[in-house]
């Protein structure tokens, strides 16, 4: 017979990452394999600073915090918003009964507050590789992903030397070539990195036909997360030219290659290889056990624009990971509310 449990839920408000509660929360997130940096108090601080609404709910078991979720929402969504928990919710998925109770409480709480939160749905993306029993039976697969559902993990536990031996010869050769040709790596975590980084990202975006976030995103990210050691910015350079850059997130035992790209110049110097190798070594030194390449799909057609990215990443010989992706739960009354509002607007025009 299960012991009697008293699970409760509290709105944790704005949690300072350095407060006792913030430290406790981040420790829970860090040690939960199905969560990640986007559920950390640090990331919440960055999002809040960037103008998002952040809603932090904690689950307690006999007054002991054991999970919860940080939901992010657009301001002024006029009732049509989403409460999104990338890398969340943070639940003890190994204990399905407890996880289900926790999820039900999160749904009930957000649903009852949906109107005041201006949201019509909850959107979650736990880092699970298989559906947790029937727990998500009331959720549906979302049309958008909050995080990369297919990615590549590089196991860092054996250290850089073993890693270098394990990667494909071409990658090893290119890393050595970059070094021999004088490509250097600079870690620059001050705000002055933001402009150079964004400029490079724009170049890459134009070349690849992507949209890139505005400069303010990188300024906020670097300003909030670099001093904490959560974000780190690396540049591969040669004689004053920036060849490649990346922004890496280190949280818990995972280092994530979140943003990055290579410039147009001196591509024969293999700055991208040098950059990744430096970041991998640095991740090892900072105690990370996994390097997440953040997006990997070797199954796409060879002429697909992502095929090249996946080919590049695959040379580091990681493990392909497939997660369950992102799931939606609509608050039906709130959705009806907002659709009725739309009907009324078009009926009086």
Partner 1 sequence: MSILVDKRNDGSMAFFLDGDLQFDSRDERIYHEALALPALALIESRSVKPLRALIIGGGDGLTARELLKSARIATIDLVDYDEKVLQLARTEFSTLNGNSLGDPRLNVTVEDARSLISRAIANHQKYDLIISDLTASHDADSAQLHTIEFYESLRNLLTDDGIVAVNSASPSGTPQAYWSIFNSILASSLQPRAYRIFLPSFAEQRYGPDWGFILASPRPIDLDEVNRLEKLVEPRFELKNTDQIRDMFHLPQSVVELQPHICAGSGASDVLVQYLFNPVIVSSDDSLLINTLTLDYSTMTVPRQSVSYLLPQELQETLSHWHDRADQQNAVMAEVFEIMPALQRHQTRELIRDFLAKPEVFLAPIDLNALVDAMLKRVSELPEKVVKELQFLKEKIVECCDDHERLLELGLRSMAIIAVVVILGNLIYPDAAYAKGHPEAHHAGTHHGGTDHVGINRGGINYGGSYTNGHWGPWFTNANGKRVRNWVR
Give, as ranges, the residues between 137 and 156 that touch partner 1 (CB under 8 A). Answer: 139-146, 148-150
Centre a 10 Å sphere on the Cβ of residue 310 and count the other Cβ atoms it contains: 19
Residue 179 CB, nearest distance to partner 1 (Å)? 16
Of 121 and 154, nearer to partner 1 (C-beta) is 121
Of 121 and 156, nearer to partner 1 (C-beta) is 121
Q: Both tokens of residue 247?
A: 């922004």
Can residue 39 be called a binding residue for partner 1 (CB under 8 A)?
A: no
Site for partner 1 in 177-196 (CB under 8 A): 191-192, 194-195
Of 101 and 326, nearer to partner 1 (C-beta) is 326
Can residue 33 be called a binding residue for partner 1 (CB under 8 A)?
A: no
Residue 119 CB, nearest distance to partner 1 (Å)? 8
Can residue 18 be called a binding residue for partner 1 (CB under 8 A)?
A: no
- Exposure string for 80-90, b = 16+ CB within 10 A, e = fewer: bbbbbbbbbbb
The DSSP 8-state label assigned to residue 2 in this structure reads P
Can residue 270 be called a binding residue for partner 1 (CB under 8 A)?
A: yes
Q: Per CB under 8 A, which region of 58-66, 95-103, 154-162, 259-267 contacts partner 1? A: 259-267
Can residue 50 be called a binding residue for partner 1 (CB under 8 A)?
A: yes
Can residue 20 be called a binding residue for partner 1 (CB under 8 A)?
A: no
Quick check: 114 and 334 in contact, CB under 8 A?
yes
DSSP letter string over 39-89? GSHHHHHHHHHTT-EEEEEEEEETTEEEEEEEEEE-TT-TT-EEEEEET--
Centre a 10 Å sphere on the Cβ of residue 256 and count the other Cβ atoms it contains: 24
Residue 248 CB, nearest distance to partner 1 (Å)? 10
Phi first, then psi: give them for residue 195, nearest 5 degrees: -65, -50
Question: How far is residue 99's CA from residue 111's CA, in Å, rounded to a whole number?
Answer: 18
Residue 220 CB, nearest distance to partner 1 (Å)? 4
Quick check: 127 and 35 in contact, CB under 8 A?
yes
Total site size for partner 1, rule CB under 8 A: 102
Can residue 339 be called a binding residue for partner 1 (CB under 8 A)?
A: yes
Can residue 49 be called a binding residue for partner 1 (CB under 8 A)?
A: yes
Asked if omega into 311 is within 30° of 0 (cis), the reply is no
Please give the angle made by the CA atoms of 274, 275 and 278, to the nearest 5 degrees.
Answer: 85
Site for partner 1 in 199-258 (CB under 8 A): 201-202, 204-217, 219-220, 223, 244, 246, 257-258
Of 66 and 234, nearer to partner 1 (C-beta) is 234
What three-state secondary structure class fits 158? coil
Question: How far is residue 162's CA from residue 158's CA, in Å, rounded to a whole number?
Answer: 6
Quick check: 32 and 244 in contact, CB under 8 A?
no
Site for partner 1 in 286-315 (CB under 8 A): 293-295, 297, 299-301, 303-309, 311-312
Of 5 and 168, nearer to partner 1 (C-beta) is 168
Q: Per CB under 8 A, which region of 16-24, 63-71, 106-114, 325-333 contacts partner 1? A: 325-333
Can residue 328 be called a binding residue for partner 1 (CB under 8 A)?
A: yes
Please give the angle made by the CA atoms of 319, 253 and 187, to the nearest 5 degrees.
Answer: 95
Can residue 24 be called a binding residue for partner 1 (CB under 8 A)?
A: no
Nearest C-alpha neighbor of 196 from the set 229, 230, 241, 239: 241
User: According to CB under 8 A, which one of 82, 93, 251, 316 is a site residue for partner 1?
Assistant: 82
Can residue 332 be called a binding residue for partner 1 (CB under 8 A)?
A: yes
Q: Both tokens of residue 104?
A: 């039900």
User: According to CB under 8 A, which one of 71, 235, 273, 277 is a site residue for partner 1?
Assistant: 273
User: According to CB under 8 A, which one of 67, 89, 272, 318 is a site residue for partner 1?
Assistant: 272
């Amino acid at each position: 017979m299960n012991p009697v449990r008293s699970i409760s839920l509290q709105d944790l408000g704005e949690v300072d990452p350095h407060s006792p509660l913030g430290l406790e929360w981040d420790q829970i997130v860090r040690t939960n394999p199905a969560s990640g940096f986007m559920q950390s108090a640090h990331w919440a601080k960055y999002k809040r600073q960037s103008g998002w609404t952040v809603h932090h709910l904690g689950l307690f078991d006999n007054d002991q915090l054991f999970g919860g979720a940080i939901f992010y929402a657009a301001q002024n969504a006029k009732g049509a918003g989403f409460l999104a928990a990338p890398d969340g919710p943070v639940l003890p998925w190994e204990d399905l009964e407890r996880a289900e109770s926790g999820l039900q409480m999160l749904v009930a709480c957000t649903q009852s507050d949906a109107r005041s939160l201006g949201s019509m749905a909850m959107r979650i993306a736990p880092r699970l590789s298989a559906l947790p029993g029937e727990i998500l039976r009331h959720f549906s697969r979302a049309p958008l992903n909050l995080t990369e559902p297919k990615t590549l993990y590089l196991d860092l536990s054996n250290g850089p030397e073993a890693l270098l031996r394990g990667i494909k010869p071409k990658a090893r050769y290119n890393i050595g070539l970059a070094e021999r040709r004088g490509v250097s790596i600079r870690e620059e975590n001050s705000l002055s990195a933001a402009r150079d980084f964004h400029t490079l990202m724009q170049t890459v975006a134009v070349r690849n036909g992507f949209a890139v976030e505005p400069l303010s995103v990188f300024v906020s990210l670097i300003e909030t997360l670099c001093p904490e050691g959560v974000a780190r910015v690396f540049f591969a350079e040669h004689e004053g030219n920036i060849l490649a850059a990346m922004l890496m997130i280190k949280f818990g035992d995972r280092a994530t290659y979140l943003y990055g790209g290579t410039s147009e110049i001196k591509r024969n110097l293999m700055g991208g290889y040098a950059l990744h190798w430096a970041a991998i070594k640095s991740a090892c030194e900072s105690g990370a056990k996994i390097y997440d390449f953040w997006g990997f799909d070797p199954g796409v057609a060879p002429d697909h624009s992502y095929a090249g990215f996946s080919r590049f990443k695959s040379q580091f010989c990681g493990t392909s990971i497939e997660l369950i992706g992102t799931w939606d739960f609509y608050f039906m009354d709130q959705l009806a509310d907002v659709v009725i509002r739309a009907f009324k607007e078009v009926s009086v025009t």
